[in-house]
Amino acid sequence: MELDFESAYQLLGATILAAQSTDKMINTITPALFARYPTPAALAEADPAELVPLVFKSGFYRNKAKSLIGMARALVAKHGGEVPRTLAELSALPGVGRKTANVILGSALGITEGVVVDTHVTRLAQRLGLTTETDAVKIEQDLMTVLPKDQWTPFAHRLIWHGRRVCMAKKPDCEHCVLAATCPSAGIAGTTVTAAATTKTKTAKMDRQAAARAKTDAKQKKTLKAAKKK
């Protein structure tokens, strides 16, 4: 996790600010922000005119200031000033979507409900042949199927780091990529999913589905056989 934080509240605020910005920039903003508003109760009472200058460098500062205050007020009014511990409750907060909710749950609260899917995860999951989907929720569902649950949070972090440093959107550095030997898009990846990756992924998905059906059929036959014996 590249965002600096000391609590779930701080990570929640930092993640809201990070939209359309960089973690490096947000880490220069949050120390002063949380020194001025150390708790949700303090932020809930913030004067937008005083908050805006503190978040100005993050971009879209008026909307973000509005979301921060709305988020803090919701925490105070509905959750006793505490960050909720479920995906549904977090996603209902102003300025918070499913991606941000998964970030807070996995990285601040140690709760695994889903997989963070940002632009890097989307790009790399497609290039690695783990999904053919473009919708974030559907990509998340595919990743939840192929990954052990205890890897949902760290795997997303690894993809994000790799996407920022090696597998960039326009010029992926396949020559120095440790995954090149097994990546179906190595050497040919562009900004979209390659035909080779799509075909390989669809085939693998069909194989998994066939295996799952075979397992279900075998279980049903075993149950039926046991019933007949009785």
User: Residue 99 catalytic?
Assistant: yes
Q: What gap in Å lies between CA 95 and CA 103, rounded to an integer?
A: 13
* Last residue within a domain, chosen from 52, 77, 108: 108
Name the domain count of the chain: 2
Q: What gap in Å lies between CA 18 and CA 55, rounded to an integer?
A: 10
Owning domain of residue 17:
8-108
Q: Which of 78, 118, 205, 219 is catalytic?
A: 118
Asked whether residue 43 falls in the same domain as residue 125, the answer is no
Asked whether residue 129 falls in the same domain as residue 196, the answer is yes
115 vs 207 pLDDT, higher one:
115
Domain for residue 228, yes or no? no
Domain for residue 229, yes or no? no
Q: Are 120 and 164 in contact (CB under 8 A)?
A: yes
Tokens representing 26 are 């947000």
Least confident of 63-67, 98-102, 212-216: 212-216
Q: Which of 4, 99, 170, 207 is catalytic?
A: 99
Place of tokens 């973000």: 64
Asked whether residue 129 falls in the same domain as residue 197, the answer is yes
Confidence (pTM)? 0.78
DSSP designation for 57:
G
Domain for residue 155, yes or no? yes
User: Residue 118 catalytic?
Assistant: yes
Domain for residue 101, yes or no? yes
Task: Work out the angle at residue 153's Cα, subtended by the Cα atoms of residues 172 and 17, and round it to the nearest 5 degrees.
Answer: 75
CATH label of the domain that carries residue 97: 1.10.340.30
Domain for residue 39, yes or no? yes
Asked whether residue 104 falls in the same domain as residue 125, the answer is no
* Last residue within a domain, chosen from 83, 108, 133: 108
Asked whether residue 74 falls in the same domain as residue 128, the answer is no
Asked whether residue 186 falls in the same domain as residue 91, the answer is no
Q: What gap in Å lies between CA 163 and CA 151, rounded to an integer?
A: 18
Mean pLDDT score of the chain, rounded to an integer? Answer: 90
Domain for residue 90, yes or no? yes
* Last residue within a domain, chosen from 81, 108, 135: 108
Asked whether residue 129 falls in the same domain as residue 180, the answer is yes
Asked whether residue 94 falls in the same domain as residue 154, the answer is no
Q: Are 1 and 107 in contact (CB under 8 A)?
A: yes
Tell me the pLDDT tens digit for each residue of 145-175: 999 999 999 999 999 999 999 999 999 999 9
Asked whether residue 126 falls in the same domain as residue 210, the answer is yes
Asked whether residue 135 falls in the same domain as residue 90, the answer is no
Asked whether residue 144 falls in the same domain as residue 210, the answer is yes
pLDDT at 149: 97
Q: What gap in Å lies between CA 152 and CA 137, rounded to an integer?
A: 14
Split at pLDDT 50, 70, 90, the class of 227 is: low
Domain for residue 1, yes or no? no
Tell me the pLDDT tens digit for each residue of 180-219: 999 999 988 453 444 454 455 455 556 666 776 777 777 7
Asked whether residue 88 falls in the same domain as residue 20, the answer is yes
CATH label of the domain that carries residue 207: 1.10.1670.10
Domain for residue 113, yes or no? no
